[in-house]
């Protein structure tokens, strides 16, 4: 079995379920992207191109009736292990609906929302857990970097676009690391606004994923507010935002650009038509906020490069 999964994922599962996974196909587990756990249903393992249910003997099957159902007590045990037996200590994570694990992995949670003042205060009666496996790909940005800098080697304002699970966050993270470390480009002080805790996966103030030695992270903060906070406090030369889309994001991005700060951003989209159909992205493109737009897909696996265009959407 892949050592990373053994060290960082299995400790959060009950002993019997751990052993079943240990007996499973090691070559398949290396490609595991998600482990979805629901009571009275068999665990669902999602890979890059397919999915399978876990059987009692460790085999994988496409037939749910052949899988081993997860008991209600096993799900409760998983939640206790994820919370280190203290819901109070992870109240903020429960409010957001996920827990960041060592190594940058994430356990998403569903359950009954407890409201306070019309806002979600926490979750109870957890009904599903989705463990997403984090696999930073070092060097992913290197082949693209020459097309994302100008003739003088200076970073260009860049927007990375893909459909969900298309590799945009992975590329954005590695591009942040490369620029922060000065690998093939002049190093810059990077400010990372990690609203969903997916870029750096901060845990106890420590990034669980590689983002470079000159990177400062504003974790769990709305993007527009985080941009303004970092501009005031950390003097960044470049700012990084994942999954922009709100009107306030666009205003803050333009303020940063007008202040001479480089922007690296990502957004959802599967085609040029979809990109320009979204008002916020269309506005930023119309204002020529981005000098490079990169479209990724899953056509040959996550992170497949489809094209790179300039700010006027012309091939470059």
Closest CA to 105 of 42, 52, 35, 46: 35
Work out the pLDDT band at 48, boundaries 50, 70, 90.
confident
Q: Report the percentage of the chain scoring pLDDT > 90.
A: 78
Cα distances (Å, whole numbers) of residue 159 to 175, 247, 265: 11, 16, 5
Higher-confidence residue of 2 and 264: namely 264
Bridge partner list, 78? none
For the stretch 280-299, pLDDT in tens is: 999 999 999 999 999 999 89
Q: Calculate mean pLDDT across residues 154-158.
A: 96
% pLDDT > 70, the chain: 98
User: 120 pLDDT exceeds 80?
Assistant: yes
Please compute the mean of the pLDDT values over residues 306-313 and round it to a whole number: 94
Per-residue pLDDT at 86 exceeds 80: no
What's the pLDDT tens digit per position in 216-240? 999 999 999 999 999 999 999 999 9
Taking the C-alpha atoms of 192, 198, 203 and 204 in order, what is their torsion angle to the nearest 10 degrees? 30
Residue 97 burial class via C-beta count within 10 angstroms: exposed 0-12, middle 13-18, buried 19 and up: middle
DSSP label of 173? H
pTM: 0.86
By the 10 Å C-beta count (0-12 exposed, 13-18 middle, 19+ buried), 50 is classed as: exposed
Is residue 135 over pLDDT 70? Answer: yes
Complete domains list, the chain, with CATH: 3-132 (3.30.450), 145-310 (3.40.50.300)
CA distances from 80 to 5, 12, 313 (A): 19, 9, 49
Contact criterion met (CB below 8 Å) for 33 and 132:
yes
- For 161-190, what is each residue's pLDDT tens digit? 999 989 999 999 999 999 999 998 999 999
> 314 exposed, middle or buried (CB, 10 Å; 0-12, 13-18, 19+)?
exposed
Selected residue with higher pLDDT from 31 and 230:
230
What are the residue ranges of helices labelled H in the chain?
3-8, 15-22, 26-29, 72-82, 91-96, 168-181, 223-233, 247-258, 272-277, 279-286
Confidence of residue 302 (pLDDT cuts 50, 70, 90): confident
CB 55 within 8 A of CB 43: no
105 C-beta neighbours (distance < 10 Å), count: 22
Cβ-based burial of 153 (10 A; exposed 0-12, middle 13-18, buried ≥19): exposed
Residue 1 confidence (pLDDT) = 45
């Amino acid at each position: 079995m892949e050592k990373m999964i053994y060290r960082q994922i299995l400790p959060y599962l009950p002993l019997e379920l751990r052993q079943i996974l240990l007996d499973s196909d090691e070559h398949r587990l290396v490609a595991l992207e998600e482990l979805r756990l629901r009571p009275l249903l068999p665990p669902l393992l999602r890979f890059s191109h397919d999915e399978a249910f876990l059987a009692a003997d460790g085999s994988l099957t496409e037939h749910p009736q052949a899988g081993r159902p997860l008991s209600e007590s096993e799900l409760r045990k998983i939640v206790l292990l994820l919370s280190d037996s203290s819901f109070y200590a992870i109240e903020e994570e429960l409010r957001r609906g996920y827990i960041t694990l060592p190594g940058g992995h994430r356990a998403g949670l569903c359950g009954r929302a407890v409201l306070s003042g019309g806002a979600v205060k926490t979750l109870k009666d957890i009904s599903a857990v989705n463990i997403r496996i984090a696999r930073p790909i070092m060097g992913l940005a290197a082949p693209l970097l020459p097309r994302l800098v100008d003739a003088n080697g200076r970073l260009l304002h860049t927007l990375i676009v893909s459909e969900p699970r298309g590799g945009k966050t992975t590329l954005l993270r590695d591009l942040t690391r490369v620029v922060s470390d000065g690998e093939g480009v002049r190093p810059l002080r990077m400010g990372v606004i990690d609203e969903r805790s997916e870029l750096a996966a901060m845990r106890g103030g420590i990034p669980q994923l590689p983002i470079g030695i000159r990177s400062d992270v504003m974790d769990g903060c709305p993007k527009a507010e985080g941009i303004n906070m970092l501009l005031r406090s950390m003097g960044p030369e470049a700012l990084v935002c994942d999954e922009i889309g709100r009107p306030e994001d666009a205003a803050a991005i333009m303020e940063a650009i007008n202040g001479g700060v480089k922007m690296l951003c990502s957004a959802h989209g599967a085609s040029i038509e979809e990109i320009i159909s979204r008002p916020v992205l269309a506005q930023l493109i119309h204002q020529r906020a981005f000098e490079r737009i990169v479209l990724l897909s899953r056509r040959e696996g996550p992170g497949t490069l489809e094209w790179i265009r300039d700010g006027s959407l012309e091939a470059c």
